[in-house]
Structure 1
Amino acid sequence: MAIVFADESGRNDPPVYVMAGLIASAAAWRAFDAAWMAELNSPPAISVFKMKDAYRGNGDFRGIGQVERQAKCERLARIIRAHCTGRLSVVTLHDAFNEIIKGRISGDVDDPYIFSFDGILARADKLATALDYDGPIDFYFDRQIDKEPLLNAHWDVYHPTLDAHFAARFERKPAFLADEQAPGLQAADMLAWHIRRAYADGHKDLAKVGEVGALLAEMSRSDQLYDAAALTVLRESIHKKFFGANRFAPHVEEYVRQTVAIMTTCENYIKMTEPSKRLPVELMPLPASGTSRYQLVRNCELVGIPHLHRRSDSSCIEQTTAE
C-alpha cells in the first residue's frame, strides 16, 4: 500500500498551475514525520513549513535571514529524499487551459484543481507500479474550504466510472488535512512551489531551482505536462467519448440547446407572423419561446421530442398550418 500527500501551486499565478505529490509507504511516512518535526524544532525553530514564507521571510520565517532560511529548506529537502520514494506532478499551462478546456467540456473540469486531480491519480498509479507498490493508494490533500466540496462531488460521479484496476487502486475517497496536521503536505507544498518556479523562471527545469530543486529533481518521478497540444488531444478524446454515446459534451450540449431554441423561435415566429397569402406554413416541432399562442410539451403521440402545441385546442404543430 502507498500513500500520497499532494498540494497545488499557481492557481491564480501564471504561467502554470501545478498539482504535485510525494509517494511512500505508511511506514516510511511515519519515519518521515518524525524526522521532519525534529528539523522544524531545530534552530531556527518554526511551527509549520510553508514554502512561500520560507522564500519571502514571512510567517514563521519572519526575522530569519535568507541564508538560514535556505539552509533549513535544504535540510528539509534531504529528509524528503531520504524517506519518500518518488514524486509526481501535473503541470497545466494557464493560457492553454483557458483557451482549450475551460467552457468546452463540462463545468466540473472548468476548475484546474478538479482537472488536475484526474491527472494526478493516473500519475500516482504509474509511479506506484514502477516502484512495485501493490494494493490501494491513499491520497491526502491540503484542506481548502472551497475545493473540498467540489472534489467530493466530483469523486461521487468519477469513481463509479473507474475500471477494475483503478477502482482497486483508489478504493477510498481522498481525505483533506490541514498542513499543520500533516508534514507530508508541507513537503508537497515545497515540491509544488519549486516546480511552478521552474516554469515561472522560463527554463522549466526543476534541477535549476537552487539546491532544493536539484535534490528533488533526482527522485523517481511521473510527470504530466498539459500544454496546448496535450490539452487539444485530451479535449478531442473526451468529445469523442461523448459522441460515441450519441451526445455532445455537456458544455457543447447546452450551447446547442440554447442556439437551437433561439433559431427555432425566430424561424417559427417569422412563419407565423408573415405567412405567404393562402399558402400553408409548416412550423418546426422544436422547443421555442416567445410564441404565446403555443405551449411547449415534452412529447405526444406524433412527436417523441419536445415541441409545440396550440394552446387553444392542444393540437400538435406537426398537423398545424397557418394561412
Structure 2
Amino acid sequence: MWGRRSPVLLQAFCDDSASDKGDKRLFMAGYLNRADKWELFSEAWREELQAQPSIAYLRMVEANNLRGEFRGWTKEARDQKLKGFARVINHFEPLSFQFTINRGEHLRVLTPVSPRGLGSPHFTCCFSVISGVARYVAETKAKTRIEYFFDEQDGVSADMSLLFHQMKRNIPRSARNLISGTPAFENDKLLPPLQAADMLVWHLRREHENRTSPDDILPMADLLRNPKGHLESHIDDAQLSKWAEHHAKQEGVQFLKSKGQWQEFRRDLVRFAEAGAIPPTGSRITHLLFRLRIHFLGKLARRNSRKRGRPRS
C-alpha cells in the first residue's frame, strides 16, 4: 500500500456508532489510505452520489430508515445505491480498521472515577484509534506520517485538542513520530471518506448486534472490510478496570465531574500550557493530574480565603 520511505502522507478517516443492546458496545471504524488516493476516491464518490437517483451525501441512519436523502426511496433502490458506494471503496482498497469498547462497562467502572473529559467512552476509543493505527503502520517499518479525521463529536474535539499532545507521549516513539498534527473533527456531509467510514462502522455495529432478517437492510460488512488488510482491536474490560483503579487514587477528580468544572479546568490548562508550566516529558496522566491538583489546591485556597473574609452575622 505504501513504501517504507514513501513521502506521501497517509490519512485515516473514522466514524462512530454505539449499540444500545447487550454491553452497549461503542464502535469506531474507518479507512486508511494515501492522501493522493483519497483525492481520487472523493471524485469517484461524488460521481456515485450524483448518479441517478442522486443524493447530496450518504448517512447510513438515513439510508436505513428511508428518510432524509432517502425519503421516498424503495428498499431495492437504496440497496443498489449502497452497492455502488461499496464498489467505490473496494476499487481503492483502503486499509479498513475497527476499534470497540464495552460502553456499559466503561460507564459503570471508569466514568464515575474519571474527570469529565477523560470519562467519555468516545474520548477513550478515539485515542485508541489514533494509537492503534499509528502502531500498525510503525510495525510495517513505514516512515509515512498519518493525519487523522473524525466525524464531529460534541465535546470530544475540544478535549482532544487540549490534551492530545500530552496524551500521545504514552505512545511508543516509533508510532508517535508518525502522527501528523492534531486530529481534526469534520462534518461528514462535506468529506466523502467520512461518509465511507460511516457506512463501514454502521454495518459493523449491526453485524455485532446480529439483527438480520428478510426485511432488514442489506448485510454489507463483509463487502466493506478489506480482505487484504483489516485492523481490529477491542479494549478489554480488564484494561478499563486498571485505568479506573489509577484514576480513583488521584486527588481532586471529584471536582471535575460537572460540565462547568471541566470547562474551568480547560481554561486553566490552556493558561498553564501558554505559560510553559506543562513539562515536556513524563506520562500523559501524571501531567494531567498534577495540573489538576494545582488547579484545585488553588481553587480551595481562594474559597477558604473568601470564607475567612466574610463578616460574621
- With normalisation by structure 1, the TM-score equals 0.67
After superposition, residues 208-223 of structure 1 pair within 5 angstroms as 210-219=218-227, 220-223=229-232
Show CA shifts across 1:239-283 (max 9, x none): 7xxxxxxxx73333348999xxxxxxxxxxxxxxxxxxxxxxxxx
Identify the match of residue 111 of structure 2 among 68, 91, 102: 102
After superposition, residues 62-73 of structure 1 pair within 5 angstroms as 62-73=71-82
Instruction: Summarize the Cα distance change of 1:255–1:30 in structure 2 as closer, same or farther, 3 Å threshold.
Output: closer
Secondary structure, aligned partner of 1:253:
coil
Q: Provide the C-alpha distance between the structure 2 equivalents of 1:198 and 1:10, rounded to a whole number of angstroms.
A: 12
1:99, distance to aligned residue in structure 2 (A) = 2.9
Name which of structure 1's ranges 164-173 and 144-153 shifts more when overlaid on structure 2. 144-153
Partner of 1:252 in structure 2?
Answer: 249
After superposition, residues 91-130 of structure 1 pair within 5 angstroms as 91-129=100-138
Instruction: Summarize the Cα distance change of 1:235–1:187 in structure 2 as closer, same or farther, 3 Å threshold.
Output: same
Structure 2 regions of 5+ residues with no counterpart?
1-8, 256-296, 298-313
Structure 1 regions of 5+ residues with no counterpart?
240-247, 259-297, 299-323
Q: Is the Cα–Cα contact under 8 Å of residues 138 and 178 in structure 2 kept in the other structure?
A: no
In terms of fraction of residues, the more helix-rich structure is 2
1:64, distance to aligned residue in structure 2 (A) = 1.1
Partner of 1:235 in structure 2?
Answer: 241
- Report the AA paired with residue 36 of structure 2: A
- For the pair 1:5 / 2:13, whether they are aligned, the reply is yes
Q: More relative contact order in 1 or in 2 (CA 8 Å, sep 6+)?
A: 2
1:210, distance to aligned residue in structure 2 (A) = 3.9
Q: Is the Cα–Cα contact under 8 Å of residues 127 and 221 in structure 1 kept in the other structure?
A: no
Secondary structure, aligned partner of 1:47:
coil
Q: Provide the C-alpha distance between the structure 2 equivalents of 1:147 and 1:88, rounded to a whole number of angstroms.
A: 20
- With normalisation by structure 2, the TM-score equals 0.69
Instruction: Summarize the Cα distance change of 1:64–1:146 in structure 2 as closer, same or farther, 3 Å threshold.
Output: same
Show CA shifts across 1:45-97 (max 9, x none): 00010011111101011011111101111110121111142111111122222
State how many pairs are aligned: 243
Partner of 1:51 in structure 2?
Answer: 60
Q: Is the Cα–Cα contact under 8 Å of residues 203 and 219 in structure 2 kept in the other structure?
A: no
Percent identity reads 21
Partner of 1:199 in structure 2?
Answer: 208
Show CA shifts across 1:117-174 (max 9, x none): 2211233124434666432110011123433212212314313444422331113101
Instruction: Summarize the Cα distance change of 1:65–1:127 in structure 2 as closer, same or farther, 3 Å threshold.
Output: farther
Which has the greater radius of gyration? 1
Name which of structure 1's ranges 157-166 and 35-44 shifts more when overlaid on structure 2. 157-166
RMSD: 2.9
